[in-house]
Structures are given as structure tokens and as C-alpha cells.
Structure 1
């Protein structure tokens, strides 16, 4: 892969990263052999940003990356997150704790699981409403000063929270759910990140697989698939969302590409500095996603895609869900935001 690089604060990364959550939890039964092959293929193709969190599989995803990436540690940028408590075994969110004491303990545990001496990019996974963001970021800044972390990030914050965090310690990256089906970040958080010189990392850029239209990601979810719990997969919303996703397929047919490539090309064209991190545990899908870097959409095609609007909220309320929208909703605009590819 040779399509330039992006900067997340002091960290230079590939234009597409790899979201690793689905290798261990949320999207069906884990398959370590396939995940290992995907990680190896990503390294072969020049992917350098690998994204995980301590809650993914209740630490299992960090352990997976530690087993298979420790030998190439100097070649990659390793990002992990903390702040969401998870259920042992399943890794489902059960609460938030972004207190300074818990952050310090969590960082040490992540370092052990990842088999590394330093985390390149350490995110506050969610803002804990019981803890001022200044206190959480202050604790994370202590980790930077101790040499355990190179750069800090935040996930699912408002523009005001992003400014407050950045005032405590330079924030390298803001991670946001951003896709054709999740547009709220464009209104406030992304412009604020650009203003402050903060990199933007887009997670679930394929709408958790919804934008691919694949039955395996929409109508034929496994019994272990987390998406069964999400509003956009409710029967009342699914038919409309598949109708919307069909437009992505139509444009893919026009340009001789796959729907995933169209969805990624739209995002890459919308913000050339953003770093999407589509997730997969299959090498073939990884190659397919990387091909989006060579795809250019016409202004007319982009205009049609811009009109897409997902039916249903991104999350149910509860631990791990954003406590409020990333930005104020535009008047009259439907709420947006929420394959083993996501």
C-alpha cells in the first residue's frame, strides 16, 4: 500500500487502519487462525495502525494482538482504549470507570496483555459522567510522562469535551463513528478537531457492515452477533436501511467496485486527512477494503450518497453507548450515527 500517510499528533500511520474488535468479540464466534492471517496480511499490505481496547473480549483482543504483533512492534502504531467496564467472558459493557486510579491500573494491564513497554495511542473510550474529563485526561497525561504511553486520544466526545481534554494535554486523535450512515461528527466535532490540529479516526466506516448489504451482516446474523441488540437491526428499521444500502450497491456496480469500497471512498474523499479503521477478521475483506484507496467517485455519485440517512439510533441506551449526541442535531434532519467488517 503506497497512498501516503496520515498524522495523528506525533504518530505517522497508514491511510487505513485495522479495527480489531471483531476478531475477539461482538460479531460472531472468534477464529484465531483467520484473525492471525488477517493481521499478517495487513502487515504485508503496509497497514500500520492497529486498534483495540481493554473491553474487547474483556482483554482477549489485546492478548490476541500481543501474541501476533509483538515481533513487529517497532513497525506499527498500537492503539488501545480504556474507560468501559466489561463482562468477563463475553466482553459486553457493564459500566464506565474513567477514574484516575482505574486508568492507571488499566494501562498496566493493557501493557501486559499487549506484550509491549509502551502504548502508542491511548484513548479515553468513553467519558465517565461521574468524573470530569479533565481528571481522566490528567491521569492519562501522567502515563505519558511515565513513558508508558506516547500519545492520547478520546472517543465519542462532544466538541466541548474535546476542547477541555486538549486543554489538559495535547490530544492526538478523536475517534468517532463516522460513515454514510453516521454523519453527526461532521457538524461540530470534526471541525473542532481540524481547528485544534487533532487527527480524526473513523470507526465503523461501513456502518457495522450494514452499508455492504451482505446478508451475513444484516439479515443472517449469528446468534452471538452483538448487532442483534442494535436499533438499526430491529425489524422496523432493517428494511429501510437495506433499501438505503442498495444505493451504495448501485453506485458500486457503476464503478465496478464493491459496496464497501464505495462507502470507504466516500469517507476518504470527504476528509482526506481522516483515518478510517474498518474491521475484519478475513484477509480477503482486508484486501477489498484497501482497494478503496484507488477508487474515486464523481461529484454526482457523491451527491447521491450524501442523501443517505439510516433508520434507527446507533446504540441502545446503556453502558458503552454515548450519553448524548456527538453534536447538536440539525433541525429537520433525521438522527444518524449507528461483517465482522464494520
Structure 2
């Protein structure tokens, strides 16, 4: 995790975020000055940012929208006030409405980003200057400290070669906080085919089986917001276990990149989880990221203790085989 310190200073109306990266200054600069790279970490998990405009010049503006898992949106804009490539840049950051106008009552701030060479690679220091103590307090109460730390934790995947970062590691489970778990798995093959494997019944039945000895007995796929999904499994032959299944609602679809659904055990009222699937392709490989939101820590620990990750790895291995077969590799 790159963030080493986040300090708020109410007396001087500032927040300072310090992060260290094992890459040269120029590589970090590229991540912050390219909107396609920047939007992969500018926004905490579950709230990815999309930059619609990006004029990286003094006086230019950038506009972005953070997209929540239930279709919520928060839009903001940067105005670039200073740029010293590749060492620093400064922006005015403000919440905006759909027309790009500043939203009254929301905190605005000046942000200074600086990048210096260090023994490990690069030290990045972001200083945020607030207009008033009330603005700083409001930003903190809105979760800016926690959100910044979680957002910055995503930058490792941006700076590193994707295969170098994830190949051979199998299914990786990360506990982000008491209610959020991030699961990642690199699959050799293009994103379009991975998306199809998640959204076509014939393909789902071939890979989403969990441990050996189980079969899918029911598969209803929702492909649009508001639709229901339902999948059931049963043991085969001498395999021990009772039939079970999950069902839920599709909340968001952004093909072939993102899908958000609710999920709960069939025949129960809960507990319900929120599953946020993201697919990112680089050089013919696709990183699957599933962000799961649990209602509480106890539910999180109970579900993880079932061996869920092992079952997912068995399924992902089958998915990769099917994707490579479809791609003729």
C-alpha cells in the first residue's frame, strides 16, 4: 500500500497525504497526467472515476464523475493553476452539477501534487488547502481520509505491469475494512471474452462450478439494471453436500467493464451482499476485480470461512481455460 501518512491540520486548514512508489518520478507523473490511468485510482473502491474532459494545461479544466455501485454519481472539476512537469502541479478542486457549475454548500479546495525522487523510487506529497475549518471538517466527516487511503491503494495495479503484478498468484483476497473485501484474479485472454463468460448461460455453466463434484442446476442471468439473477448448484455422484443457490438484483451494467448486483442465499431474507465486478484488460490479459460489501464484519468472516476463495479459484481456472479456448490460444 503506497500511502505512508495522512495528516490533517485544522489550525492551518490543510490535509497532507504522503505516498511512496517503487518507480521513477516520470512513471508516477504519467499516472497522474493521463486520464485513462488516473481514473483507475481516482476514487475509492466502488466509486471509480470517469474523466470526461482533461485539458492538462495552465488554465485548463478537467471534469470527472465518480460512479457509485447503485447508480449514484458525484461530479467534480479541476482547474489547473500551475504545472511543472514532471515534478508538480496544482489544481482547484470543486463539486459541480451536470452543467459544470459549482455546487453551493459543498467544500472546494486547492490541491498541490509534488513528486520527488527517493531511495525507493518516488515520494509523492499531496497537500490539500481548505477555505475554512468548516470545509475541512465537512470533508473529513464525508470520509475523505478513509476514501483517499483506499483509493491510493489501487495505484499499485496502475504503475506495475499487469502480468508482473498478478500472474501466477491465483485468487487474491484483501480485507479493505470491516465490510469490504476485494478479490482479484488475472485471466489470460481479452476482456470481451471474460465478459461473455459472465453473461452467457452456456458459458457460465461451464466454469462457475466451484470445487469439483458440483453442477449448476439453474442459471438465470440478469443483463440489465432491475433484472433478477438466480443460480443454483447441487452435488454430483458421491460428492457430499446439500443443494444451494444465490439470487439477487442487477443494479448497474457498464459492458464490458462493470456490473453491480445484490446477492443473498436463496430462500432467505439475507444477509445480502453487494458485488461489484470490474474487468480491466492490458496486453491481452484481463484482471477480474470483485469488490464485495457485507452488512457487517461478522457476516464477512462467516462467509470467508466457508472456503469461498478456494471455490472461486477453481472456477476461475475453468474460466481461463474456456476463454483461452475461445480465443484459440
Task: Indicate whether the TM-score tops 0.5.
Answer: no
Higher helix share: 1
Higher strand share: 2
Task: Name the structure, 1 or 2, with higher relative contact order (CA <8 Å, separation 6+).
Answer: 1
